[in-house]
Every structure is written in C-alpha cells, then in structure tokens.
Amino acid sequence: MKGLLFVTTPGCVVSRKDNNIVVQSGEETHKIPIGAVEHVFIFGGVNISTPAVRFITTKGRFIFLLNQFGKTVGVIAPELITSDYRIRLAQYEVLRDEKKKLELIKVLLKTKAKGIGYIMGLNQSNYNKSLFIKALEGNVRFSSLQEALGVDGNLNKAMFEYFRDTMLPGEFEFEIRDYHPPKDPVNALLSLTYSIYYSILIPISIANGFDPYLGFFHVKRGRHASFCSDVIEISRPWLSLFVFQLLQEGFFHPMDFDKRENGCYLRPKALKAYIKIFTERIIHKDGSFLDYSVEFLRKLKEAIA
C-alpha cells in the first residue's frame, strides 16, 4: 500500500538514487522505493535536490512544501492540476444540491459523534453499546444547514466539557472554546493543533483530487479552505484528546505560554518541543489521524462520484 512520505527534520537532504527516494539525516540514510510513496511532504529546513524533484514528479507524485508549522507554502505538481477532473466536477455539483449536501454533512457529523462517544466510553468495556454513544448518534438529525450547525455546536460543547472535567490538570483553566484569538493556554494549544492539521489537509485534499476551497458544510471566507475545515471535523475529537493528553502528561506548564493583548501563544522553546511531539504522534505514528482523514476522503469520493 502506498503511503504519504513526510520529511520533517531540519537539515535533512532528500535526493534520488536509482528507483529510490533517499533521505539523509546526519549519518542516517533512509531509502524509500518510489513505488511505496503516494506523495511527498517537505517541511521547512529540509533540502531537496533538483534530480529528486524531477524523479518524483515524473513518476506522477506531488511534492508539497510546508513551513515548520505545517502551513503549505508551495506545491510542485506533475501537472498544474490533475487531468482527472471527475472528483472536482462531482464536488461542484454537490454545492448545487442541498439534499446531497445535507446527506454528506450527516455522514460527517455522525462520524464525529462516534469519535466523541468512543473517547468518552474508553473506560467502558462495551463502549459500542453505551447509551451515551447512541444518544450522540441520535442527535445527528437535521433538515437544514442551520440545524446542522446547532448539532455540531452541541457535540463540541459535550466534548470540551468532558475533557475539562476529566483530563484538565489543576494548574490550567478552561471554560469555553475561544479562538479569536485564543485567550488561555488550553485554547492556544487547541488552535495551534487544529491550524497545523488544517494546513496539512490542504495538500492532502489536492492529492486526492478535491478542491480544498469548496466545502459542503463550512462557509468559505477569503482564502479559507472550507473543504479542509469540513474534513477536520472527523478528527477534531482525536486532535482535542491529543492536546488534553499532553497537558495531563505534564508536557507543558502555564509558564510555557506568553499572554498578550492579542492572544495567548506558546513561547519559542515550548513551540519547538510541541512541533516535535506533533510530528511524532500525529504525522509519523502508524495508524495516525492522517490515515483516518485519508480514508474518509476515499469514502467521500465514493459518495459523490
């Protein structure tokens, strides 16, 4: 099975040897057969040779260039956009069909509800039969976009109340999700996590044939990649769990955050530590959230095409 290749360590050099992509990190050398790679993601501080670029793109793979925080800064494509336009065309047609949009939103929110129910039922031996999960899934009923937004709001409220009441260490305070801008350390970590994951979803959506700027649930604003905001919803429970686990495990202290008039943010040293943990647990870990999101994109293809 082909996988996504992420090269994240600053100072790494990506080159080509025979039919392999070679990643050199200090004295360590890793050779990855091109046949095992679906697309390549290069983070800030990583160098890639021109022969490697030519080799990867001629084999039909995208190279996505991201900064150290996961924000897409450029795309090197084998084609400007993929010649197979069927997914994009089907995606555009969905935007004109309110019934189809609501069907996709229902799938999205039901998947999210199952994730929240699973997390809340981790301490139950038969969580699949838990009344709470059934209650959550039962709430995924609506006949308009406005009602769907209300359901999503209730799911988020239940989720954050659970994390606050069961996992938040005493030295941190968290009342509500507040992100314009984040005013406390918990909201700062949540916003940072969601933002990086959202940025990574942009190239992943493109690589899977979707237009990242045409969502079926979230409304596009300016440069907002609304489709990626849609897709991130299924992973939001797990990304939130990741944040509260970091706090519970003592990775961060309130002193690691800088509170200003324009918001609360991680200090540089703590930010560097966070990026390392995010890379290890979210990007490189087997069975990661990215695999979960890619699988959901494949299901969306089947649903709309």
* pLDDT beyond 60 at 124: no
Between 3.30.70.860, 3.100.10.20, 3.40.50.2000, 3.40.50.620, what CATH number should domain 3-76 receive?
A: 3.100.10.20
Question: What pLDDT is attached to residue 79?
Answer: 64
Instruction: Assign 194 a pLDDT band (cuts: 50, 70, 90).
Output: very high
Average pLDDT of the chain to the nearest whole number: 85
Residue 80 banded pLDDT, cuts 50, 70, 90:
low
- How far apart CA 267 and CA 258 sit, in angstroms, is 6
The answer on pLDDT for 130 being more than 70 is no
Residue ranges covered by each domain of the chain: 3-76, 86-304
Q: Which two tokens stand for residue 284?
A: 């490189």
- What sections of 125-235 are H helices per DSSP? 131-138, 145-166, 185-207, 226-232
Alpha-carbon gap, residue 177 to 287, rounded angstroms: 28
Largest CA distance in the chain: 59
Name the CATH code of domain 86-304 (choices 1.10.240.10, 1.20.120.920, 3.40.50.300, 3.30.1440.10).
1.20.120.920
- Its pTM surpasses 0.75: yes
Span 48-59, average pLDDT: 94
The average pLDDT across 263-269 equals 86
Return the percentage of the chain with pLDDT > 90, whole number: 33
The pLDDT of 76-103, averaged and rounded, is 81
Quote the tokens at residue 113: 């509800």
**Integer Cα distance of 68 and 46 in angstroms:** 10
